[in-house]
A = this chain, B = another copy of it.
Amino acid sequence: MSITAPQGFRAAGVTAGLKASGKPDVALVVNDGPLAVAAGVFTSNRVVAAPVVWSRTVVGDGVARAVILNSGGANACTGPDGFADTHRTAEHTGAALAVDFGDVLVCSTGLIGERLPMPLLLAGVDDAVAHLDADGGAAAATAIMTTDSVSKQSHVPGAGWSVGGMAKGAGMLAPGLATMLVVLTTDAVIDAERADAALRAATGTTFDRVDSDGCMSTNDTVLLLASGASGVEPEPGAFEAALAQACAELARQLVADAEGASHDIAVTVTGASSEDAAVAVARAVTRSNLFKAAVFGNDPNWGRVLAAVGTVPESVAPYDALTLDVAINGVQVCRAGGVGEDRTLVDLAGAREVQVLVDLHAGDASATVWTNDLTHDYVHENSAYST
């Protein structure tokens, strides 16, 4: 189901041979309309892959009819030749679908700095077109996986319409997205402006608040396609809420499947002077290798939380260090900047999910950022990935 659950979409996932493993590596999503509304949010990295440059332009007019995605190669840092490869992929896909190639979005994921094997990829495009199916969502979700251990899908029903989604990503998950490719679909009747606003709002509080390893990718792309096939225009707020829920579900699945992780860590900052301040403090904690390694060791090392909180400049997040409270899985291990409850009361060994609550006592705003622990398996996967 997922991306093909809303009406008006077909999808496919096939094996083109881009991956040495022989697993599926090309996915195609087609919007059969009647609308061809599209919106996109991309990595804020200044070093961007060719498909990001291409897709940013395609989505600029709010119109797109298809998305062609490949795993097995990021097509990043490949220069003008790499951009020509992306262009040719869009042309080939457009021709095969009989749509304007300027309405074909392209996404790639995999190793940076390698050209794509174009004959294989273009043959894969043909194969994907041949396999397009109104039930093809799951196959597409599988074909975009890289180090993911499971495919990620979501489906949120509305009143006569729905939102579907698929995602890949299991590392290099950082603010301003991740090595994350996400396609969201809806059969609701919305225009490009509403699609864009809803997508930016939804990603801002979901994918933007997942940070597995502090590393921002060159390829992050989140796309929304609206077919209007339900004929229903959602009430104000209703579509936005469903889209945000679909994004939140996918983001949570990304965290749960992060490379080598043994704990999912939710860092919630309350009592902040602003939401931005809360996010900045939470992000500082989610970036602390020392704290994340401690969680791997089932050690509720709150001193490392405070050390991370202390790195945020006062201009960003005002607070008094002598009033900081920290609770870990409900145990108030730090009170007023000093020792609180006995840390041995926190049992992390039996918990996949770790809830860290930091109260700044400096206002009413709050935010949550998700991360993972830093494990032997993370090091292993990321030291062996390209070799």
Contact = CB atoms under 8 A, between A and B. Distances in A.
Interface residues of A, number: 68
Contact of A386 (B45, B287, B288, B301): B301
Interface in A355-386: 374-376, 378-380, 382-386
A122 interface: no
Contacts of A217: 307
Given A306-B218, A307-B47, A307-B218, A290 B339 contact: no
Contact of A290 (B81, B215, B380, B387): B215
A312 B113 contact: no
A379 B374 contact: yes
Interface in A84-129: 111-115
B114 A289 contact: no
Contacts of A196: none
Given A383-B294, A386-B294, A334 B376 contact: no
A307 B216 contact: yes
Given A216-B307, A299-B386, A334-B113, A321 B379 contact: no
Interface in A125-178: 171-172
A57 to B, nearest CB: 16
Given A48-B321, A379-B374, A290 B171 contact: yes
Given A77-B337, A111-B303, A303-B74, A289 B385 contact: no
Given A77-B306, A301-B385, 11 more contacts: A46-B310, A46-B311, A47-B307, A77-B337, A79-B337, A112-B301, A214-B287, A216-B310, A293-B382, A296-B379, A297-B387
18 contacts: A77-B303, A77-B306, A78-B339, A79-B338, A112-B302, A112-B306, A113-B306, A114-B339, A214-B289, A215-B288, A289-B374, A289-B378, A294-B383, A299-B383, A299-B387, A301-B386, A374-B382, A374-B383
Interface of A: 45-48, 74, 76-79, 81-82, 111-115, 171-172, 213-218, 287-290, 293-294, 296-299, 301-304, 306-312, 314, 321-322, 324, 333-334, 336-339, 343, 374-376, 378-380, 382-387
